[in-house]
Amino acid sequence: MESDIIIINQNKNKLKKSFKSKIQFKNIIINIILFLYFIFTSFFFFINIGNRDLLKQILKNGGNNINETSIYNISSKNKDIQNRINLLRKFTNNNPFIYKHMEDCLLNNTDNLLCFYPFLYTKRVIGKNRIFLGEKFDGSYVLLDDFENIRIAYSFGISNMVQFDAELAKRGIDIYMYDHTIDSLPYNNTKFHWSKIGICGNNERTELLKTLDDLIKLNGHTFEKNMLLKIDVEGWEWNSMNDLSEDILRQFKYILIEYHFFDPLKEELYYNVIKKIHKSHQPFYFRCQDRPNIAPIRNRICRFLEVSYIIREGNKFDKDDSIYPIFEFDYTGPYNYNLSECNLNIIKLFDFDD
């Protein structure tokens, strides 16, 4: 009996030692993983910081030395393009998976390549400052400190986030809000006019889906100018915007849109929409909504690209030397922004305007 107890105790001790060994091994593995994660994230963080410093020099005309690498101080068009290709490779760390299609676009500049980058670069709007509206989260947008003559806004894609709309309401703007995926707003406001309707293209109408043209006529806004359009509808933006006439687009002073780049087979659709909007409106801010890091692929900088436009008519523009992401207007902060956001600066290589 006594020997049995001794054996049991010995087995218990062996089990304890085995358990402790497993715990120690597990802790070692966890620490190794954490260490590798720290090294990995630090690597990309410092790459991005390095790119931001490089971009600061380039976008500010190369500093004091006219011979420094810069976008804007090259004497001839051919040298200019080659210079931008060199910069493109620097920004992308010579990764052809990222830069090859952009390089082809810079060299050829043809519609056949479906290059929408030349229609997305941002400009500074002279005499107007950018402002942030909404919570520091998805559902916030960047506008300008200019709400003159804006009485009406159209807001598509609401979910449970209405802080942005509420801030427009404080400025006396009536917001026509549409989302067919919810049954009610989180709270009401006298300036909110919500309907359980979604936006669509001309051939997609149903009882719950209408075109923007349909809704403008329904609300009696056919001759209204200086309106605001916000649209975040998880991919429905493409057909709905593609079927809009340019005259309707010009009814809006601001267009705030989140592009969702899901399908490589829809590149021509993406190209047509972005090019059409660019004819009448100039981007003055953009940001990637990719969370977490998602590497860009061929014909897109990031999967979810939010762009703030203002109508060209009546406004003057200058070079935008901002380095993206602009943390004041972003909700990630300097330690959490992703590689796609840093790559947004690449689009500025397509700014050939005088």
Question: How far apart, in whole angstroms, are the C-alpha atoms of residue 328 and residue 347?
Answer: 20
111-117 mean pLDDT: 88
Lowest mean pLDDT among 90-94, 163-167, 226-230, 249-253: 90-94
Pseudo-torsion of CA 300, 232, 170, 126, nearest 10°? 20
Q: What is the pTM of this model?
A: 0.81
| Cβ neighbours, 10 Å, residue 52 | 16
pLDDT of residue 110: 79
pLDDT at position 296 over 70: no
pLDDT at position 121 over 60: yes
End-to-end CA distance of the chain: 98
The share of the chain scoring above pLDDT 70, in percent, equals 72
Reported as half-sphere exposure (CB side, CA atoms, 13 A), residue 278 has a value of 16
* Residue 280 structure tokens: 């009448």
66-92 mean pLDDT: 70
90-118 mean pLDDT: 84
pLDDT of residue 237: 96
pLDDT at position 22 over 80: no
Reported as a pLDDT band with limits 50, 70 and 90, residue 43 is: very low
Q: What is the pLDDT of residues 244-276, one digit of tens each?
A: 999 999 999 999 999 998 777 888 999 999 999
Reported as a pLDDT band with limits 50, 70 and 90, residue 238 is: very high
* Residue 124 structure tokens: 């500074």
pLDDT of residue 10: 56
What percent of the residues of the chain are helix, what percent strand, and what percent coil, each to the nearest 5? 40, 20, 40
Architecture of the domain whose range is 120-350 = 3-Layer(aba) Sandwich (3.40)
Reported as a pLDDT band with limits 50, 70 and 90, residue 321 is: confident
pLDDT at position 65 over 50: no
Q: Is 171 helix (H, G, I), strand (E, B) or coil?
A: coil
pLDDT of residue 47: 44
Q: What is the mean pLDDT of the chain?
A: 81
Reported as a pLDDT band with limits 50, 70 and 90, residue 59 is: low
pLDDT of residue 64: 39
- In sequence order, the 6+-apart residues with CB closer than 8 A to the CB of 228 are 150, 152, 153, 154, 168, 173, 252, 253, 254, 256
